[in-house]
Amino acid sequence: MDREQKEGNNLLRIATRGSALALWQAHHVRDQLRQHHPRLQVELVVLKTTGDRILDRSLAAVGGKGLFTKELEEALLDGRADLAVHSMKDVPVELSDRFALPVILEREDARDALLSCHWSTLAQLPRGARVGSSSLRRRGQLVRLRPDLQVTLLRGNVDTRLRRLEEGHFDAIILAAAGLKRLGLTARMVDCFAVSDMLPAVGQGAIGIETRAGDKATQHWLKPLHHESTGQRVTAERTLSQAMGGDCQVPVAGHAWFSVDHGMTLRGLIVDVHGHELIEAEATGRPDDPVALGQRVAAQLDQQGARQLLQRLRADLHANLSS
């Protein structure tokens, strides 16, 4: 459909998952579109993804982050939807050339948050406390801070995870602060991890909008929603992860921020799930060349043996899955 036809129809359809957080994000995009284009009609196409259906295994065990985007991308390709709204931390860094990510919205808090019904800080948790998380990245960094903790798999949407905490299955859980804030659940956060203690996932806190690669009409409608500085930060982080072959099967973390001198700093980290090995690197570069910055930090990690560590981590994962 060309731009003139699209503007004549004044209709965009948003593919989204059905969780409370995904619907909040889709409604947020819908509201921004209506604010910039008052005559535009926007409809939601709610889909259930494979990642939403499989909750008893880690993402690393069942195929990775693409499980949260596959069905939404299929809706783009078969014409049921014009755009898909994602949490950027769930979007694989290897994007098919059939799709584009033309818009990244302004970032929320990128940190990880601690939630507990009985304790207010990580230090207060008793020895051997059970902490729920689905993330290998969080697990590796957490056990470096508190080697005595038992980190146990916790999957599901935010409501499911909170219910499991309240039922006493865990002493604490870790969730992204951004999602809790967007859902009005800030009061449930007892503490937030400093980025220096728990480096966030690549893209965490940012919302991305995916379209068909050649759909210039939809991209025309979406253009006012793009937040340039967030896009620069996320591009640097995703470049780093892509250069490292990052996916949810290996714990790669990356976070970019703007420096006092108006440069952009990127820190990257790779840690094994037991917290025994950690490699990190940091560099500052030009915000208008985030790809170069991501590649530079990836090269620094590589020089420290990151690629060999990732190979060992993947081998360990495959051995565990086949045993």
Catalytic residues, by residue number, are: 90
Nearest to 171 by CA among 148, 193, 151: 151
Which tokens hold the place of 309?
Answer: 């560590």
Token look-up 């210039």 returns 216
4 by DSSP, 3-state: which? helix
Q: In what order do the strands lie in the sheet with 207-212?
A: 41-47, 11-17, 83-87, 207-212, 99-104
CA distance 205 to 242: 19
Helix, strand and coil content of the chain, in percent to the nearest 5, comes to: 40, 25, 35
Instruction: Output Rg (C-alpha) for the chain, integer angstroms.
Output: 20
Supply the DSSP string of 235-300, one letter for each residue. HHHHHHHHHTT--TTS-EEEEEEE-TTS-EEEEEEEE-TTSS-EEEEEEEE-TT-HHHHHHHHHHH
Instruction: Give DSSP secondary structure letters for 55-101.
Output: -SS-HHHHT-GGGGTHHHHHHHHTTS-SEEEEEGGGS-SS--TTEEE
CA 307 – CA 250 distance, rounded (Å):
11
